[in-house]
């Protein structure tokens, strides 16, 4: 292989990722425009559903609502700073989410190649990386934190993990997984100790928010209490959590919200995927990756019901790396495999469009 050909392959891979990013964002934008035209909805009614209203409310008014403390401050603060340029908060959030989704895809490209990044961009719930939710920014920070940590650049990894920890509670699981990586990565005991010390930075971010909540509420459990009272995310044993989820699937349950049944069915599938990815990582002795996914699965399994797991799948970079390895090939693909991958991509885009429609029309979308 010539030097020119060697450089051409990475460039072509990067181009594929960019094309996938543009194509998937375009699919979601087309669905949004179609909903606005077909149902005579304003852009704010399409892009501003569900938790977007909470994030924008915090960005504009602070923690004015009691249960709004369930949302970590990093994302609303960034949206507020971006809106100082004169952009409406909604559009500032959309542009930030779009940019961060590209940064997250670039991290996956660095970690595992173009197929992994493209698989993530094709995720069913990718609409949450277009609207002003935390998924894009968190994935961008967490994925690059992992990339830097695997490259043994722990200072940069700690800064990125601190950013992720300011955005959502999933930062706690990221810190735990990075701690496992710090301990299992090759090096001396002193080097392992230095890696762990770097993680004091993201830990301090979480501690600062917990301390702030205690100062204004007088309760160390203020965040958990807000989750329980606002979103029924109180503690439950796994068998009770499963039972509550299955109850939603019973005939006649929530008849006024028919989409709930298949969205909650997808939650069960996502939980099964999480368990499978954790098991594969354990078999492969990838202890840190198993910690990252496994802790999240455990957290969802001990909530009142399996809720928002479909969105959390976006955070599971080991899943997208595994899917990427299934799709990649150093040789020319046989026809049957190329057709199969093409059908999978087409099916993923259809599911992504349907999930976007759910969100844009204000229906339950996990």
Measured distance CA(76)–CA(60) in Å, rounded: 8
pLDDT of residue 96: 97
- Contact present, 125 and 311 (Cβ < 8 Å): yes
- Tens place of pLDDT per residue across the chain (366 aa): 334 434 555 777 888 999 999 999 999 999 999 999 999 999 999 999 999 999 999 999 998 888 899 999 999 999 999 999 999 999 999 999 999 999 999 999 999 999 999 999 999 999 999 999 999 999 999 999 999 999 999 999 999 999 999 999 999 999 999 999 999 998 888 999 999 999 999 999 999 999 999 999 989 988 888 888 877 777 889 999 999 888 888 877 777 777 888 888 999 999 999 999 999 999 999 999 999 999 999 999 998 888 899 999 999 999 999 998 887 655 566 676 667 777 888 888 999 999 999 999 998 888
Please indicate, yes or no, whether the overall pTM of this predicted structure exceeds 0.85.
yes
Q: Is 225 helix (H, G, I), strand (E, B) or coil?
A: helix
CB 127 within 8 A of CB 356: yes
Place of tokens 């043994």: 152
pLDDT at position 4 is 42
């Amino acid at each position: 292989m010539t030097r020119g050909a060697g450089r051409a392959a990475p460039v072509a891979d990067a181009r594929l990722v960019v094309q996938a990013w543009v194509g998937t964002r375009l699919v979601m934008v087309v669905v949004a425009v179609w909903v606005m035209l077909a149902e005579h909805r304003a852009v704010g009614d399409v892009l501003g559903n569900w938790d977007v209203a909470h994030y924008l409310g915090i960005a504009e008014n602070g923690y004015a609502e009691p249960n709004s403390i369930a949302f970590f401050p990093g994302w609303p603060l960034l949206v507020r700073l971006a809106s100082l340029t004169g952009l409406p908060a909604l559009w500032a959030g959309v542009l930030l989410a779009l940019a961060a989704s590209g940064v997250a895809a670039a991290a996956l490209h660095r970690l595992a190649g173009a197929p992994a990044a493209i698989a993530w961009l094709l995720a069913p719930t990718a609409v949450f990386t277009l609207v002003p939710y935390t998924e894009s920014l968190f994935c961008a920070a967490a994925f690059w934190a992992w990339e830097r940590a695997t490259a043994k650049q722990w200072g940069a990894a700690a800064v990125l993990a601190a950013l992720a920890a300011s955005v959502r509670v999933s930062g706690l699981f990221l810190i735990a997984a990075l701690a496992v990586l710090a301990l299992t990565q090759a090096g001396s005991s002193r080097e392992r100790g230095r890696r762990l010390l770097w993680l004091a930075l993201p830990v301090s971010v979480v501690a600062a928010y917990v301390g702030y909540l205690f100062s204004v509420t007088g309760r160390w459990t203020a965040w958990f209490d807000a989750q329980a009272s606002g979103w029924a995310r109180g503690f439950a044993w796994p068998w009770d959590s499963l039972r509550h989820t299955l109850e939603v699937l019973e005939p006649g349950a929530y008849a006024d919200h028919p989409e709930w049944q298949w969205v909650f069915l997808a939650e069960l599938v996502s939980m099964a995927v999480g368990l499978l990815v954790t098991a594969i990582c354990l078999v492969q002795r990838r202890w840190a990756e198993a910690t990252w996914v496994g802790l999240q699965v455990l957290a969802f399994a001990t909530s009142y019901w399996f809720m928002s797991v479909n969105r959390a799948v976006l955070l599971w970079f080991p899943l997208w790396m595994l899917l990427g390895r299934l799709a990649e090939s150093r040789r020319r693909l046989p026809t049957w495999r190329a057709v199969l991958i093409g059908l999978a991509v087409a099916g993923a885009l259809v599911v992504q469009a349907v999930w976007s429609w759910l969100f844009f029309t204000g229906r339950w979308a996990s």
